[in-house]
């Protein structure tokens, strides 16, 4: 979710109908976590749960326990509190909703 929010912030919405794209220059502004932060023995099982199913629309995705477990691992590494995580999700969903709403108005 951390990465996808950045894509929503840095991505381009010039394709119409709310499509979001990123190109080479956009990627230079996307933060990447240092792999040394991860304990891969802990992260891999969480990641594998996500890869065994289709990713759902964001409002549904963020309600799923496997997504929440994966995100909790990442947010814990970042030192975020429960309130900060809730604020993160609220702002993320707001960005997505705003992009889709603009697409519906302009489309």
pLDDT single digits (tens) 72-92: 999 999 999 999 999 989 998
Rounded to 5 degrees, φ, ψ at 3 are -65, -45
Tell me 78's DSSP state: T
Rounded to 5 degrees, φ, ψ at 12 are -100, 135
Residue 41 pLDDT: 94
- The percent of the chain in helix, strand and coil, each rounded to the nearest 5, is 65, 0, 35
Please report, in tens digits, the pLDDT of each residue of the chain (107 residues total). 776 776 766 667 666 555 677 777 877 777 788 889 889 999 999 999 999 999 999 899 999 999 999 999 999 999 999 999 999 899 989 988 987 887 776 55
Tell me 37's DSSP state: G
């Amino acid at each position: 979710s951390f990465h996808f929010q950045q894509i929503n912030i840095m991505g381009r919405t010039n394709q119409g109908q709310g499509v979001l794209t990123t190109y080479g220059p956009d990627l230079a502004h996307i933060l990447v976590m240092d792999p040394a932060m991860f304990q891969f023995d802990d992260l891999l099982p969480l990641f594998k749960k996500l890869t065994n199913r289709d990713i759902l629309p964001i409002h549904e995705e963020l309600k799923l326990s496997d997504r929440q477990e994966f995100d909790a691992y990442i947010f814990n590494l970042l030192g975020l509190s429960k309130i900060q995580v809730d604020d993160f999700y609220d702002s993320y969903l707001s960005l997505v909703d705003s992009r889709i709403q603009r697409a519906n108005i302009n489309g």
